[in-house]
A = this chain, B = another copy of it.
Amino acid sequence: MTTTRRPTRQQSAVIDALGSTQDFTSAQDLHAQLRESGEKVGLATVYRTLSTLADSGDVDVLRTGEGEAVYRKCSTGHHHHLLCRVCGRTVEVEGPTVERWTDAVAAEHGFTDVAHTLEIVGTCSSCH
């Protein structure tokens, strides 16, 4: 029995907020974002909505190193971050290389619906 889905203002708000970025975003962040933009959505509702969307496969979920769950609207191009460990400056980078590689490796092992996270840390030129 599939859950009856009834569209609501709150759910749309969450979905829109998710769609406004291509990055993986945590439920907490989304909630803060919604509150800032004036939308009144309860934290529990944000979690519920994300969880439902994830179950139905409409969003990707994965876990950060800290164990926080992060979500992203499915199948849009995305980029990665190059982070300076000294000053915290970040640079967005992208390229088909990694995308292709992960897809290939996943397919090779019979995996489908693949998503990935990649973070690169280093020391930037000014901080060297």
Q: Indicate if A32 sits at the interface (CB-CB under 8 A).
A: no
- Give chain A interface residues in 59-115, CB to chain B under 8 Å: 60-63, 65, 67-69, 82, 84-85, 91, 93, 95, 97-98, 101-102, 105-106, 109-115
Q: What is the distance, in angstroms, from A110's C-beta to the closest C-beta of chain B?
A: 3
Within residues 29 to 82 of chain A, which ones have a CB less than 8 A from any CB in chain B?
Answer: 60-63, 65, 67-69, 82
A106 & B120 in contact (Cβ 8 Å cutoff): yes
The residue among A68, A118, A128 with the most chain B CB atoms within 10 A of its own CB is: A118
Q: CA–CA, A122 to B106, complex, Å?
A: 8
Instruction: Identify the closest chain B residue to A100 (Cβ).
Output: B97
B128 touches A120 (CB 8 A): no
Q: How far is the CB of A70 from chain B (nearest CB, A)?
A: 11
Q: A99–B100 Cα gap in the complex (Å)?
A: 14
